[in-house]
Amino acid sequence: MEDADIDALASLRAQTFAARTRPAPFLAIDNFLPREVHDRVLADLIACQSDFQSNRMTGRDSLVLINPQSVQPVLDAIERRFDELITKLAALGAPVEDVTHCRLEVPTATATGHANFHAPHIDNDPLSGIDFVLARRVSFAWYAFQEPKAFEGGDLRLWDFAEIPSERGPWTPAATWADHPCTNNSLLVFSSSSRHEVLPVRMFQGEFADRRFAVITAALAS
């Protein structure tokens, strides 16, 4: 094959890939909890400071608390609006055909401070080989923090995708993305097949209570 033919074929493949690139399905629900409930959950998480543990390892760094009872109002609110959220996400192209009822993963609370981050990853990475990871279909992240805000950053970066199968599943992450701010008392909802990361937090002063808190869970295949 001549060099010109190789170049033309590469160009055609690139055009085909670009034509099939789509924004990742995504929802942002502002004021997700009543204000008094938000304040109570946040206060309870702050009071659990001594229970949070570091999850520092390659690719991530934060403080986490597994299954705190104080976040139940967040789960209850997700359950009440579950059908609505899944229907809207499906309309945007998320693969949720096997999510027939609300079955949520055990929640994790995170307290993100200065220089904390979570590198690019996929919540249901097919290469993980872990059953509960493979069962994730829809990821939820609810944010809470004190105001005025004492940090910058910590936003969610969500990669676009191309409808081209790969070893990581039916979607191939594209080279483009969108950044979504972590607004106080907002719920972000996206496909667990989407590549995403938590951008580094900048917080040069402040106490534990000034961190960016989040409650993370996922809807599992039924």
Q: Is the pLDDT of residue 171 over 80?
A: no
Q: Which residues contact 129 (CB under 8 A, 6 or more apart)?
A: none
- Burial state string for 80-101 with b = 16 or more CB within 10 A and e = fewer than 16: ebbeebbeebbeeebbbeebee
> What HEC string does 95-137 produce?
CCCCCCCCCECCCEEEEECCCCEEEEEECCCCCCCCHHHHCEE
Mean pLDDT of the chain: 89
The pair of three-digit structure tokens given for residue 219, joined into one six-digit string: 């809807």
Q: Which residues contact 182 (CB under 8 A, 6 or more apart)?
A: 141, 143, 154, 155, 156, 188, 212, 214
In this prediction the pTM is 0.87
Q: Does domain 23-220 have CATH number 2.60.120.620?
A: yes
What does the domain layout of the chain look like in residue ranges? 23-220
Q: What is the structure's pLDDT at 17?
A: 46
Give the position of tokens 């109002």: 73
